[in-house]
Amino acid sequence: MVRHFRRDDDITPAEQQHIIDLAIAMKADPYSHKPLAGPKSVALFFDKPSTRTRVSFSVGVADLGGNPLIIHAGESQLGEKESIADTARVLDRMVAAIVWRTFLQTDIDEMADHSNVPVINSLSNSFHPCQLLADLISIHEHKGSLNGLTVAFVGDGSSNMANSYLLAGAMSGMHVRVATPSAYQPLADARATATRIASETGGSVLVTDDVAEAVSGADIVVTDTWISMGQESEKERRITDFAGYGVTADVMSRAHAQALFLHCLPAYRGYEVDADVIDGPQSIVWDQAENRLHAQKALLHFLLTAS
Ligand code: CP
Ligand code: NVA
Protein backbone atom coordinates (compact mmCIF):
# COMPACT_ATOMS: atom_id res chain seq x y z
CA MET A 1 0.00 0.00 0.00
CA VAL A 2 1.25 3.48 -0.84
CA ARG A 3 2.66 5.39 2.13
CA HIS A 4 2.19 9.12 2.57
CA PHE A 5 3.75 11.67 4.94
CA ARG A 6 0.90 14.09 5.56
CA ARG A 7 1.74 14.67 9.21
CA ASP A 8 4.31 13.53 11.74
CA ASP A 9 2.27 10.58 12.99
CA ASP A 10 1.96 8.94 9.55
CA ILE A 11 5.01 6.91 10.58
CA THR A 12 5.62 4.73 13.63
CA PRO A 13 8.27 5.46 16.29
CA ALA A 14 10.41 2.65 14.83
CA GLU A 15 10.05 4.11 11.32
CA GLN A 16 10.97 7.57 12.61
CA GLN A 17 14.13 6.12 14.14
CA HIS A 18 14.89 4.26 10.89
CA ILE A 19 14.55 7.48 8.84
CA ILE A 20 16.82 9.36 11.28
CA ASP A 21 19.46 6.61 11.12
CA LEU A 22 19.21 6.43 7.31
CA ALA A 23 19.56 10.22 7.01
CA ILE A 24 22.71 10.19 9.12
CA ALA A 25 24.13 7.36 6.97
CA MET A 26 23.19 9.18 3.75
CA LYS A 27 24.75 12.40 5.05
CA ALA A 28 28.06 10.53 5.37
CA ASP A 29 27.70 8.98 1.88
CA PRO A 30 25.43 11.36 -0.09
CA TYR A 31 25.23 9.54 -3.45
CA SER A 32 24.92 5.98 -2.16
CA HIS A 33 21.14 5.55 -2.62
CA LYS A 34 19.41 5.97 -5.99
CA PRO A 35 15.71 5.04 -5.58
CA LEU A 36 14.82 7.64 -8.26
CA ALA A 37 17.27 6.27 -10.87
CA GLY A 38 15.80 6.47 -14.35
CA PRO A 39 15.55 9.39 -13.73
CA LYS A 40 12.10 9.35 -12.14
CA SER A 41 10.53 12.72 -11.41
CA VAL A 42 9.11 14.21 -8.22
CA ALA A 43 6.52 17.01 -8.42
CA LEU A 44 7.23 19.85 -5.95
CA PHE A 45 4.21 22.18 -5.59
CA PHE A 46 4.67 25.49 -3.76
CA ASP A 47 1.63 27.61 -2.88
CA LYS A 48 3.75 29.58 -0.37
CA PRO A 49 7.33 30.92 -0.59
CA SER A 50 10.31 28.75 0.35
CA THR A 51 14.11 28.75 0.37
CA ARG A 52 15.16 25.70 2.41
CA THR A 53 12.35 23.35 1.39
CA ARG A 54 12.57 24.19 -2.29
CA VAL A 55 16.36 23.83 -2.46
CA SER A 56 16.65 20.80 -0.18
CA PHE A 57 13.97 18.84 -2.04
CA SER A 58 15.41 19.83 -5.45
CA VAL A 59 18.96 18.86 -4.49
CA GLY A 60 17.77 15.77 -2.65
CA VAL A 61 15.74 14.43 -5.57
CA ALA A 62 18.75 14.95 -7.86
CA ASP A 63 21.06 13.22 -5.34
CA LEU A 64 18.68 10.23 -5.36
CA GLY A 65 19.02 9.94 -9.15
CA GLY A 66 15.77 11.75 -9.96
CA ASN A 67 14.42 14.89 -11.58
CA PRO A 68 12.73 17.62 -9.49
CA LEU A 69 9.78 19.47 -11.09
CA ILE A 70 9.05 22.74 -9.27
CA ILE A 71 5.51 24.07 -9.80
CA HIS A 72 4.58 27.41 -8.22
CA ALA A 73 1.06 28.55 -7.36
CA GLY A 74 -0.69 29.77 -10.48
CA GLU A 75 1.55 27.78 -12.84
CA SER A 76 -0.64 24.67 -12.98
CA GLN A 77 -4.36 24.02 -13.32
CA LEU A 78 -4.52 22.91 -9.66
CA GLY A 79 -6.89 25.04 -7.64
CA GLU A 80 -9.21 27.26 -9.68
CA LYS A 81 -9.51 25.10 -12.77
CA GLU A 82 -8.85 21.51 -11.73
CA SER A 83 -9.68 19.61 -8.58
CA ILE A 84 -7.13 18.14 -6.20
CA ALA A 85 -8.47 14.65 -6.94
CA ASP A 86 -8.10 14.99 -10.72
CA THR A 87 -4.63 16.51 -10.31
CA ALA A 88 -3.57 13.54 -8.18
CA ARG A 89 -4.94 11.06 -10.73
CA VAL A 90 -2.94 12.71 -13.53
CA LEU A 91 0.28 13.24 -11.61
CA ASP A 92 0.60 9.73 -10.26
CA ARG A 93 0.79 8.42 -13.84
CA MET A 94 3.96 10.46 -14.38
CA VAL A 95 5.83 11.12 -11.14
CA ALA A 96 7.23 8.97 -8.33
CA ALA A 97 6.08 11.28 -5.52
CA ILE A 98 4.18 14.52 -4.92
CA VAL A 99 5.50 17.12 -2.46
CA TRP A 100 3.11 19.97 -1.62
CA ARG A 101 3.47 23.17 0.44
CA THR A 102 0.04 24.73 0.85
CA PHE A 103 -2.44 26.19 3.31
CA LEU A 104 -5.07 23.62 4.30
CA GLN A 105 -4.12 20.26 5.78
CA THR A 106 -7.37 18.87 4.39
CA ASP A 107 -6.13 19.64 0.86
CA ILE A 108 -3.00 17.56 1.44
CA ASP A 109 -5.16 14.76 2.85
CA GLU A 110 -7.35 14.92 -0.27
CA MET A 111 -4.33 14.74 -2.57
CA ALA A 112 -3.11 11.68 -0.65
CA ASP A 113 -6.55 10.07 -0.78
CA HIS A 114 -6.44 10.13 -4.60
CA SER A 115 -2.76 9.48 -5.28
CA ASN A 116 -1.14 6.14 -5.99
CA VAL A 117 2.30 7.63 -5.28
CA PRO A 118 3.52 9.04 -1.93
CA VAL A 119 2.27 12.53 -1.03
CA ILE A 120 4.55 14.54 1.28
CA ASN A 121 3.43 17.59 3.26
CA SER A 122 6.22 20.15 2.88
CA LEU A 123 4.34 22.59 5.19
CA SER A 124 0.67 23.26 5.78
CA ASN A 125 -0.99 25.68 8.18
CA SER A 126 -1.23 22.77 10.63
CA PHE A 127 2.01 20.75 10.39
CA HIS A 128 5.61 20.91 9.13
CA PRO A 129 6.67 17.27 9.46
CA CYS A 130 9.71 17.39 7.11
CA GLN A 131 11.19 20.13 9.29
CA LEU A 132 10.73 17.97 12.38
CA LEU A 133 12.73 15.13 10.86
CA ALA A 134 15.59 17.59 10.30
CA ASP A 135 15.25 18.92 13.84
CA LEU A 136 15.34 15.45 15.36
CA ILE A 137 18.41 14.51 13.29
CA SER A 138 20.15 17.70 14.44
CA ILE A 139 19.35 17.05 18.10
CA HIS A 140 20.45 13.42 17.73
CA GLU A 141 23.76 14.51 16.19
CA HIS A 142 24.52 16.94 19.01
CA LYS A 143 23.10 14.98 21.98
CA GLY A 144 23.68 11.39 20.86
CA SER A 145 20.05 10.31 21.39
CA LEU A 146 16.53 11.69 21.69
CA ASN A 147 14.64 9.54 24.18
CA GLY A 148 14.28 11.22 27.56
CA LEU A 149 15.43 14.68 26.50
CA THR A 150 13.28 17.73 27.30
CA VAL A 151 12.41 20.15 24.50
CA ALA A 152 10.76 23.51 25.18
CA PHE A 153 8.94 25.18 22.29
CA VAL A 154 8.50 28.88 23.14
CA GLY A 155 6.22 31.14 21.08
CA ASP A 156 3.24 30.52 18.82
CA GLY A 157 1.71 27.31 20.17
CA SER A 158 -0.88 27.35 17.38
CA SER A 159 1.79 27.18 14.66
CA ASN A 160 2.52 24.28 12.36
CA MET A 161 5.89 23.90 14.13
CA ALA A 162 4.37 23.61 17.60
CA ASN A 163 1.86 20.99 16.42
CA SER A 164 4.61 19.01 14.72
CA TYR A 165 6.88 19.25 17.78
CA LEU A 166 4.11 17.75 19.88
CA LEU A 167 3.65 14.78 17.54
CA ALA A 168 7.22 14.09 16.42
CA GLY A 169 8.80 14.99 19.75
CA ALA A 170 6.49 12.67 21.66
CA MET A 171 7.13 9.96 19.08
CA SER A 172 10.88 10.18 19.72
CA GLY A 173 10.32 9.77 23.48
CA MET A 174 11.10 13.38 24.34
CA HIS A 175 9.33 15.44 26.98
CA VAL A 176 7.70 18.20 24.93
CA ARG A 177 6.79 21.46 26.65
CA VAL A 178 5.03 24.26 24.77
CA ALA A 179 4.97 27.78 26.23
CA THR A 180 2.38 29.93 24.48
CA PRO A 181 -0.20 32.61 25.32
CA SER A 182 -3.51 30.98 26.21
CA ALA A 183 -5.16 32.35 23.03
CA TYR A 184 -2.65 30.49 20.81
CA GLN A 185 -3.16 26.83 21.71
CA PRO A 186 -1.94 23.87 19.64
CA LEU A 187 -4.54 21.85 17.73
CA ALA A 188 -6.55 19.78 20.21
CA ASP A 189 -6.03 16.72 18.01
CA ALA A 190 -2.25 17.19 17.94
CA ARG A 191 -2.10 17.59 21.71
CA ALA A 192 -4.31 14.56 22.39
CA THR A 193 -2.51 12.38 19.85
CA ALA A 194 0.89 13.45 21.19
CA THR A 195 -0.21 12.60 24.73
CA ARG A 196 -1.27 9.13 23.57
CA ILE A 197 1.98 8.59 21.66
CA ALA A 198 4.03 9.82 24.65
CA SER A 199 2.36 7.23 26.88
CA GLU A 200 3.80 4.57 24.55
CA THR A 201 7.29 6.04 24.06
CA GLY A 202 8.03 7.28 27.59
CA GLY A 203 7.80 10.94 26.61
CA SER A 204 5.36 13.52 27.93
CA VAL A 205 3.44 16.63 26.88
CA LEU A 206 2.97 19.93 28.71
CA VAL A 207 1.28 23.08 27.38
CA THR A 208 1.63 26.18 29.56
CA ASP A 209 1.55 29.96 29.31
CA ASP A 210 4.61 30.14 31.60
CA VAL A 211 7.89 30.43 29.67
CA ALA A 212 10.01 29.86 32.80
CA GLU A 213 8.13 26.64 33.58
CA ALA A 214 8.66 25.34 30.04
CA VAL A 215 12.37 26.10 29.70
CA SER A 216 13.46 25.19 33.24
CA GLY A 217 16.27 22.64 32.82
CA ALA A 218 15.34 21.96 29.17
CA ASP A 219 17.87 20.27 26.89
CA ILE A 220 16.55 22.01 23.79
CA VAL A 221 14.87 25.40 23.33
CA VAL A 222 13.08 25.98 20.03
CA THR A 223 10.98 28.71 18.53
CA ASP A 224 9.39 29.79 15.25
CA THR A 225 8.17 33.05 13.77
CA TRP A 226 5.19 34.69 15.50
CA ILE A 227 3.76 35.50 12.06
CA SER A 228 3.47 32.46 9.83
CA MET A 229 2.94 32.64 6.08
CA GLY A 230 -0.63 33.77 5.43
CA GLN A 231 -0.89 35.67 8.76
CA GLU A 232 0.77 38.89 7.59
CA SER A 233 -2.39 40.97 8.21
CA GLU A 234 -2.25 39.94 11.92
CA LYS A 235 1.33 41.20 12.37
CA GLU A 236 0.69 44.09 14.76
CA ARG A 237 -1.66 42.15 17.00
CA ARG A 238 0.63 39.14 17.14
CA ILE A 239 3.69 41.22 18.06
CA THR A 240 1.66 42.57 20.99
CA ASP A 241 0.25 39.18 21.97
CA PHE A 242 3.63 37.42 21.95
CA ALA A 243 5.47 40.02 24.05
CA GLY A 244 7.39 38.06 26.69
CA TYR A 245 7.50 34.91 24.51
CA GLY A 246 10.79 35.66 22.75
CA VAL A 247 13.87 33.51 23.32
CA THR A 248 16.36 35.85 25.00
CA ALA A 249 19.68 35.13 26.71
CA ASP A 250 17.77 35.24 30.01
CA VAL A 251 15.35 32.56 28.76
CA MET A 252 18.28 30.39 27.61
CA SER A 253 19.95 30.80 31.02
CA ARG A 254 17.00 29.01 32.63
CA ALA A 255 17.53 25.94 30.43
CA HIS A 256 20.26 23.31 30.92
CA ALA A 257 23.74 24.81 30.67
CA GLN A 258 24.39 22.64 27.56
CA ALA A 259 20.99 23.38 26.01
CA LEU A 260 20.73 23.69 22.24
CA PHE A 261 18.78 26.40 20.41
CA LEU A 262 16.84 25.53 17.24
CA HIS A 263 14.76 27.58 14.79
CA CYS A 264 13.35 26.31 11.49
CA LEU A 265 14.09 29.70 9.83
CA PRO A 266 13.46 32.24 8.47
CA ALA A 267 14.11 34.06 11.78
CA TYR A 268 13.13 37.55 12.87
CA ARG A 269 15.84 38.74 15.26
CA GLY A 270 14.49 40.90 18.07
CA TYR A 271 11.07 39.25 17.96
CA GLU A 272 10.82 35.48 18.58
CA VAL A 273 14.60 35.23 19.17
CA ASP A 274 17.36 37.64 20.06
CA ALA A 275 20.46 37.87 17.86
CA ASP A 276 22.80 36.85 20.67
CA VAL A 277 20.89 33.55 20.99
CA ILE A 278 20.46 32.55 17.34
CA ASP A 279 23.98 33.73 16.47
CA GLY A 280 25.47 32.42 19.74
CA PRO A 281 27.30 29.21 20.70
CA GLN A 282 24.21 27.20 21.70
CA SER A 283 22.51 27.67 18.32
CA ILE A 284 22.60 24.80 15.82
CA VAL A 285 20.30 26.42 13.25
CA TRP A 286 22.72 26.02 10.31
CA ASP A 287 23.14 22.28 10.96
CA GLN A 288 19.37 22.14 11.29
CA ALA A 289 18.89 23.84 7.90
CA GLU A 290 21.39 21.52 6.20
CA ASN A 291 19.69 18.49 7.69
CA ARG A 292 16.53 19.27 5.73
CA LEU A 293 18.40 17.82 2.74
CA HIS A 294 19.47 14.60 4.45
CA ALA A 295 16.14 14.12 6.24
CA GLN A 296 14.08 14.40 3.06
CA LYS A 297 16.38 12.11 1.08
CA ALA A 298 15.92 9.47 3.77
CA LEU A 299 12.17 10.12 3.88
CA LEU A 300 11.84 9.78 0.10
CA HIS A 301 13.92 6.58 0.17
CA PHE A 302 11.72 5.17 2.93
CA LEU A 303 8.41 6.06 1.25
CA LEU A 304 9.50 4.92 -2.22
CA THR A 305 10.78 1.57 -1.02
CA ALA A 306 7.93 0.99 1.47
CA SER A 307 5.18 1.72 -1.08
N1 CP B 1 12.15 26.09 7.35
C2 CP B 1 11.57 26.19 6.15
O3 CP B 1 10.64 25.45 5.80
O4 CP B 1 12.11 27.14 5.34
P5 CP B 1 11.57 27.61 3.92
O6 CP B 1 10.26 28.33 4.15
O7 CP B 1 12.65 28.51 3.38
O8 CP B 1 11.35 26.40 3.06
N1 NVA C 1 5.43 28.65 10.93
C2 NVA C 1 6.17 29.14 9.79
C3 NVA C 1 7.21 28.16 9.36
C4 NVA C 1 8.09 28.64 8.24
C5 NVA C 1 9.04 27.59 7.76
C6 NVA C 1 5.21 29.41 8.64
O7 NVA C 1 4.29 28.60 8.44
O8 NVA C 1 5.36 30.41 7.96
Q: Is the CB of 228 under 6 A from ligand 2?
A: yes
pLDDT in tens, 101-117: 999 999 999 999 999 99
Q: Is the CB of 295 under 6 A from ligand 2?
A: no
Q: Quick one: pLDDT at residue 179?
A: 99
- Is the full-model pTM beyond 0.75? yes
How far away, in angstroms, is 238 Cα from ligand 2 center?
A: 14
Q: What number does the ligand 2 atom closest to the CA of 231 have?
A: 8
Q: Which residue positions in the chain have pLDDT lower than 70? A: 307
Q: Is the CB of 130 under 6 A from ligand 2?
A: no
How far away, in angstroms, is 199 Cα from ligand 1 center?
A: 31
Q: In the annotation, is 219 catalytic? A: no
Q: Quick one: pLDDT at residue 74?
A: 87
Q: Quick one: pLDDT at residue 307?
A: 66
For ligand 1, atom 6: residue with the closest CA: 50
Give the chain as a 3 state SS string: CCCCECCHHHCCHHHHHHHHHHHHHHHHCCCCCCCCCCCCEEEEEECCCCCHHHHHHHHHHHHCCCEEEEEECCCCCECCCECHHHHHHHHCCCCCEEEEECCCHHHHHHHHHCCCCCEEECCCCCCCHHHHHHHHHHHHHHHCCCCCCEEEEECCCCCHHHHHHHHHHHHCCCEEEEECCCCCCCCHHHHHHHHHHHHHHCCEEEEECCHHHHHCCCCEEEECCCCCCCCHHHHHHHHHHCCCCCECHHHHHHCCCCCEEEECCCCCECCCECHHHHCCCCECHHHHHHHHHHHHHHHHHHHHHHC
Q: Quick one: pLDDT at residue 80?
A: 80
Q: Quick one: pLDDT at residue 79?
A: 85
